[in-house]
Amino acid sequence: MKILNKILLQVLLFLLALVTLFSLIYVLIIAFGKNVISATTFIPEGFTFENFVKLFRETKFANWLANSLIISTTTMVISVILVSVAAYVFSRLRFYGKERLFNLVLLVQIFPLSLSMVSIFQIFVKTGLLNKPLGLIIIDSALSATGLILLAKGYFDTIPYELDEAAMMDGATRLQILRKITFPLVKPMLAVVGIQSFIIAYNEYTIASAVMTVNVEKMPLAVGLQSLIAGQYGINWSMYCAGAVIGSIPMLILFYSMQKYFISGLTEGSVKS
Amino acid sequence: MKRLAILILFLLTFFASVPAVSGSEKTVRVWIGAIAEEKEVMDELAMEFKEKTGVNVEVYQKLEIFTVPNALVNNAELDERPDIVYMQAPDIGGLAESGYLLPLEIDDDLRSRFVDVAFEAFTYNNQVYGIGYSNSTYGLLYNKDLIREDELPETWDELFEKAEALTLRDETGNIVQRGLFLNANDMWFNYPLIKKYGGYYYGTYPNGEYNAYDVGLDNEGMLAYVEKMKELKALGMVLNNPEKKDYSDIVAEFSKGSVAMFFYGLWHAEFFKNANVNYGIAPLPENAKPITTVEGFVVNKFTREEAAALDFLRFILEDDNQQRLIEAGNRHQRKTGERNPTNINVINSPYIQEDEVLASIAQVGRNVEPFPNIPEGTLWYNQDVTFNTFRAIFFGDSSGNEVDAQYKLNELADYIRRNVALMNEEVEFVKTPWYVFAILGGAILALAAYLFVKKIKQRRDPNYFPTKHSRTLTLLAWGLMLPLLALLLMFYVYPIIHNFYLSFTNYSGLNLRNYGIVGIANYKTIFLAGLQGLVQLILWTFVFALSVVAISFVFGTFLATILDKTNVRVAKVYRLIYILPWVIPSIITLLMWQGLLDTESGLVNKLLGLIGIGKIPWLSNAHMARLSTILVMVWFSFPYFMVIAYSFLKSIPKDYYEAARIDGASSFAIFRKITLPLIFRALIPILIMSFIMQFNQFGVYILTGGGPASPRIGNPGATDLLITYVFNTAFNTKRYSLAAAYSVIIFIFVACFALITMRANKKKMEV
């Protein structure tokens, strides 16, 4: 009975993976497809590299990719720092106004971003950030940090405070505790935050399309790619998918390289109570 | 700590940086279209112009022409403001009305060198605001292998006759070739046919201006058109897929050579070339005028270099320069047909005339009807109402019942008239009545009293010890949070306050600049008229968001536990596969699901057909569409929970499981009683966040377009979410302040929900 259950579960896991894998295959089909007219094509006339060649020859794809990589990596670093500091503060420090601040972080995110655009644009104008990659880095950091604090705080909370207390008894300072005990334990969470913030910055379209309008070369990938399917002129799904395929490689590499941190010695060295 | 200090420094330098002041040199900024070749030539022209006049010209490419009007409004008064802007003529109405466009003087020389429509399209309120450069139009596309040029029909009746003769069936009765192929859900390409029978978009006043209240969609002519379309449908000349909005299927059939004629332009010229279709384009029968979008140049009213800008505009409009631009716009020898010239000299040039297709479409372009450029024009193509109306008329409503065409057309026309009226409504100041103050004041007082009583009770409680916060710790904490707090205030709090302010104004598409306070007029509109149908919408939005979050969470956690027990290497591969929905742009995966779930031709139904299950209307039946939407969105979000739950799993002490196992609990019981609750507790804030995210989910719109449509036009469709519906209705009529008011209400509503949930779970979180 137990074995049967196990097999069933593995079959489920496999089938689901198959369905999901299909999405990648589908994007590949269109990216390599010959003369694909509609985005709902599953069997193209033939296969070709043409779309990739066109992508690099006719658009500024290489620039877009580079811009996005720079913006997303910087955003990732900034938001990992911001988020870990904030999560530590919320989880470990008892201070005046903590609960209210935490609620504020949560509540402000309810407001739909699409409607904030007018105001965000004004801020960009006033601060001289308009059309600067720097501006995108800042707002992407704000977006991802705010969105990820809750997650990180929840994770910090799962690490027993007794660990800190025990270390304090041994005479460790707060900073030492942070470095030697807390930080190694939250690595998996930092990996998740890092990936998430990278993805948020990498995919952000709404704001970028409004504030990065002057130079085509300076646009991030999401805006550039979108323009391939936004025109009314023979929307080229193949070129779009070719861009999506190349564009997803950095994210897959990032995810794969960070995978080990997800699992890394979480329980190692913790007090077995 | 050091890193933090660097970061703060980093942020401070950003904000302190002042935009560089450009030199005193005269500079004209030009925004042009997306074609790279055109940009090159425009840069050359800029250089030549500088040599001639000394005026500096900067050229910027705009990749998406649809976003240009918005970008102009945003940038019109900045230091780096554009002076000449390339845009679509239908977009000028609202901009001219709000005072963003400079009226242009057109002299006889200019007028004589361009086709009339170049000016006609940019004329608003008897004032010319731009000059057309390219003319996106359509004609009768025909396959020369099926019908010769000299055989082309000259009258509509002849067209139908020939089309019928060219429609062939095989022995089993399946159509193998079509003389004519139409999409009955569409109005753009069928417009000449509509017009032939007597229907029209907007009527005109005797002076030629559009009368937006005169909607010609429910007259007798329209009924005749519907009859004719039904007849053609019975003959197999109408695309038999009720879901289809675009022409991709028809284009694909034409590429295969199985369609003799259809109404279309050169949007897929490259595809036809690749497919080796021997095709041509001809004027419509009886010289009917196709509806057309003209693209051209307008001048920013706030230009600082009016004379120089006008000089440069005149310079690029010179015949020779037009020739160079148009050739570049068609990518030189590739002759893609992306730019259809309005300059007469260019039309007659060898470059155009030597290419049969370009020459014909240029000819067609001289006899067109520009799409109405009044602000109300967008009511037509922004909304799905026309699609839904014709879909119901030609394919039945969402349960497949036939509908009365006259009734449906009346409903459509009335809906548009109503929206025209709404757009033009002068919002009058509404004084806040005393009882609103009373209610609000009462609420605040009640809240204050409640908090006061609670505090006193707390103080009197003998077990209560007020938490003393260490001052250093508080200072440290707030200090550490400072950078984040700054970002939060700038990008989150300020927009909310600003929107709150906008919700009390009459900020709208016709009133982008001179808007003022109108009191609570927007809120009054919402509460008096707007709340009908919202209850169902709110319910569905809640059900949708809750089910997506709940299913994704349980399922994701479940998969994480299974993965945890799977062979490590296999698990690695699985995790990599499962995050694919994160990594691939969601627009493409949503469209993939749309294609997979299509009732007629979807892969899912085809597979089900193999095992003997009949067609399931995944997206075309209201209930099934709701289910499908939830499942597709779960597919998008469960990997997130899986990854997070997986890393949380490791932090659950092993002894919990061991103890349970000793007590003889089954694996499932352990999952249900230990894993799930523990992870749930840790993830409560995330769950709330995900709920909010799903609540504001725009992806549904790509998947279903909010449909299947409600039987009543203008009511929310089955899968419409609160946010998409509300914004659609407000944005469709360009009443932005109304959208702001809605968003404030939704914000307060969801915020209360979130706060209450947080409070209710607080005890659980602390236990």
DSSP string, B299-314: EBTT-S-HHHHHHHHH
- Check whether residue B44 and residue B117 sit in a common domain: yes
Residue B342: the pLDDT is 95
Beta carbons of A259 and B65 less than 8 Å apart = no
pLDDT digits (tens, 9 = 90+) for B504-561: 998 888 778 778 888 888 888 888 766 666 777 888 999 999 999 999 999 999 988 8
Q: Same structural domain for residues B620 and B564?
A: yes
In this structure, the answer to whether residues B72 and B173 fall within a common structural domain is no
pLDDT range class, residue B734, cuts 50, 70, 90:
confident
| Model confidence pLDDT, tens digit, residues B43-70 | 999 999 999 999 999 999 988 888 899 8
Give Cα separations from B491 to A120, A246, B498 (angstroms): 6, 31, 11
Give the total number of structural domains in chain B: 3
Number of residues that make up chain B: 767
User: CATH code at B662?
Assistant: 1.10.3720.10
How far is B522 from A61, CA to CA, in rounded Å? Answer: 44
CA dist B230 and B174 (Å) reads 19
Q: Are residues B108 and B189 in the same domain?
A: no
- Is pLDDT above 70 for B2? no
Q: Does B684 touch chain A (CB under 8 A)?
A: yes
Asked whether this complex has an ipTM greater than 0.95, the answer is no
Check pLDDT > 90 for residue B683.
no
**Nearest-CB residue to B754 (from A17, A58, A110):** A110
What are B92's two structure tokens? Answer: 């000028």
> Is there a contact between A97 and B474 if contact means CB atoms under 8 Å apart?
yes
In the prediction, which pLDDT does B529 show? 67
List of chain B residues whose C-beta atoms are within 8 Å of the C-beta of residue A5: 667
Closest chain B C-alpha to A21 CA, distance in angstroms:
6
Query: Which of B11, B467, B484 is opposite residue A94, by nearest beta carbon?
Result: B467
- Domain for residue B229, yes or no? yes
Does pLDDT of B767 surpass 50?
Answer: no
For chain A, the residue count is 273
Residue B506 lies in a domain: no
Judged by a CB distance cut-off of 8 A, whether residue A194 touches chain B is no
Q: Summarize the confidence of residues B204-226 as an average pLDDT.
A: 91
The four Cα atoms B531, B532, B535, B540 give a dihedral, to 10 degrees, of -110
For B:620-639, CB contacts with A below 8 A are 635, 639
> Which tops the pLDDT comparison, B474 or B108?
B108
- Residue B282, helix vs strand vs coil: strand
Task: Report the sign of the C-alpha dihedral through residues A139, A140, A142, A146, in that order.
Answer: positive
Is the model's pLDDT at B10 over the cut of 70?
A: no
Between CA B612 and CA B615 the distance in angstroms is 10
Residue A207 pLDDT greater than 50, yes or no: yes
CA distance linking residue B765 with residue B762, whole number of Å:
5
Q: HSE, CB side, 13 Å, CA atoms: give it for residue B26.
A: 15
Tell me which residue of B592, B594, B619, B597 sits closest to B608, measured CA to CA: B597
Would you state the pLDDT for residue B63?
A: 85
Query: What's the 3-state SS for B96-116?
Result: HHCCCECCCCCCHHHHHHECC
For the segment A129-137, the average pLDDT, to the nearest whole number, is 91
Q: Nearest CA to CA, how far is B252 from chain A (Å)?
A: 7
Residues B343, B322 contacting (CB under 8 angstroms): yes
* Amino acid letter for position A54: K
Neighbours of B25 (CB within 10 A): 9
CA gap B356, B377 in Å, rounded: 33
Gap from B676 CA to chain A (nearest CA, Å): 14
What per-residue string of b and e applies to B501-518 under the rule 16 or more CB within 10 Å gives b? ebbbbbbbbbbbeebeeb
Q: Which of A5, A157, A272 lies nearest to residue B682, judging by beta carbons?
A: A157
Of residues B433 and B348, the one with the higher pLDDT is: B348
Residue B435 CA to residue B428 CA, distance in Å, equals 20
Distance from the A94 Cα atom to the nearest Cα atom in chain B, whole angstroms: 7
**CA dihedral in degrees (B214, B215, B221, B223; nearest 10)?**
-140
| Integer Cα distance of A94 and B467 in angstroms | 9
Helices A237-263 & A183-203 angle (0-180, nearest 10):
170
Mean pLDDT of A30-57: 85
Give strand pairing partners of B134: B295, B341
- Chain A hits for B577, Cβ within 8 Å: 17, 20-21
Q: Is the peptide bond before B585 cis (omega within 30 degrees of 0)?
A: no
Nearest 10 degrees: Cα torsion B372, B373, B376, B377: 50
* Omega before residue B103 within 30° of 0, cis: no
Same domain, B157 and B131: no
B644–A192: do the CB atoms touch at under 8 Å?
yes
The pair phi, psi for residue A253, each rounded to 5°, is: -60, -45
CA distances from residue B266 to A234, B32, B44, B280, B349 in whole angstroms, order as listed: 8, 21, 28, 10, 19
Distance from CA of A53 to the nearest CA of B (A): 16
Q: Which of A23, A88, A104 sits opposite B589 (nearest CB)?
A: A23
Burial of B279 (0-12, 13-18, 19+ CB in 10 A): buried
Say which residues have a Cβ less than 8 Å from residue B15's Cβ, sequence separation at least 6. Answer: A127
Which residues in chain B touch residue A72, judged by CB atoms under 8 angstroms apart?
Answer: none
- Do the domain assignments include residue B433? no
Contact B647 A138 (CB under 8 A): no
Whether A257 has its CB under 8 Å from any CB of chain B: the answer is no
Helix (H, G, I), strand (E, B) or coil at A1: coil
The SS3 assignment for A61 reads helix
pLDDT at B20: 44
Are B687 and B569 part of one and the same domain?
yes
- B520 in a domain, yes or no? no
Question: What confidence tens digit (pLDDT) does each residue in B654-675 have?
Answer: 777 788 888 877 778 888 888 8
- What is the signed CA dihedral for B448, B454, B460, B462, rounded to 10 degrees? -150
Going from the C-alpha of B386 to that of each of A257, B187, B596, B704, the distances in angstroms are 50, 8, 25, 16
Distance from CA of A67 to the nearest CA of B (A): 17
> Does the pLDDT at position A155 exceed 60?
yes
Residue B729: both structure tokens together: 């209705």
Give residue A234's pLDDT. Answer: 61
B284, B300: one domain: no
Q: Strand B168-169 to strand B175-180: parallel, antiparallel, or no bridges (unpaired)?
A: antiparallel
The residues in A 12-31 lying below 8 A from B, measured between CB atoms, are 12-13, 16-17, 19-21, 23-24, 26-27, 30
Query: Does residue B585 sit in the same domain as residue B713?
Result: yes
Task: Locate the chain B residue with the closest alpha carbon to A214.
Answer: B60
Residues B546 and B406 in one domain: no
Look at residues B332, B364, B396 and tell me which one is the last residue of a structural domain.
B364
CB atoms within 10 A of CB B753: 16
A23 vs B684: CB contact, 8 Å cut-off?
Answer: no
In this complex, the residue of A143, A147, A199 whose CB is nearest that of residue B582 is A199
Tell me whether residue B468 is in a domain. no
CB contact under 8 Å between A233 and B267, yes or no, is yes
In Å, how far are B122, B149, B280, B339, B726 from B363, measured between CA atoms?
20, 15, 13, 13, 43
The verdict on residue B601 lying in a domain is: yes
Backbone angles phi, psi at B427, to 5 degrees: -75, 120
Please answer yes or no on whether A251 and B566 come within 8 Å at the CB atom: no
Give B20: exposed, middle or buried? Use CB within 10 Å, 0-12, 13-18, 19+.
Answer: exposed
Cβ pair A10:B566 closer than 8 A? yes
The answer to whether B100 and B349 are in contact (CB under 8 A) is: no
CB A217 within 8 A of CB B62: no
What count of Cα atoms within 13 Å lies in the side-chain half-sphere of residue B685?
Answer: 24
Tell me if A192 and B589 make a contact (CB, 8 A cut-off): no
B711 is written with which tokens?
Answer: 């039987």
B539 lies in the same domain as B623? yes
pLDDT band, residue A73 (cuts 50/70/90) = very high
Residue B17: pLDDT band by 50, 70, 90 thresholds?
very low
pLDDT exceeds cutoff 90 at A201 = yes
Interchain CB distance below 8 Å, A20 and B578: yes
Q: Model's pTM, two decimal places?
A: 0.85
- Ramachandran bin of A35, using left for φ above 0, alpha for ψ from -120 to 50, beta for the remaining angles: left
Residues B249 and B283 in one domain: yes
Q: Are B296 and B130 in contact (CB under 8 A)?
A: yes
Q: Are residue B214 and residue B65 in the same domain, yes or no?
A: no
Domain that holds residue B750: 531-766
pLDDT tens for B446-456 read: 989 988 888 88
Q: Is residue B267 part of a domain?
A: yes
d(CA B31, CA B298): 10
* All domains in chain A, ordered by first residue: 24-34+52-263 (1.10.3720.10)
What would the two tokens of residue A160 be? 């027993």
pLDDT tens digits for B568-581? 788 878 888 888 88
Choose the closest CB to B754 out of A41, A107, A223.
A107
> Can you tell me the mean pLDDT for B487-509?
91
Residue B596, both tokens: 């997979």
- In whole angstroms, give the CA distance from residue B653 to residue B87: 62
Determine whether the interchain pair A234/B698 forms a contact, defined as Cβ–Cβ distance below 8 Å: no
Rounded distance, CA B671 to CA B648, Å?
14
Q: How confident is the model at residue B738 (pLDDT cuts 50, 70, 90)?
A: confident
Query: Which of the 8 DSSP states describes residue B672?
Result: I
How far does the CA of residue A229 sit from the closest CA of chain B (Å)?
A: 9
The answer to whether residue B440 is domain-embedded is no
CATH number at residue B322: 3.40.190.10
Judged by a CB distance cut-off of 8 A, whether residue A205 touches chain B is: no
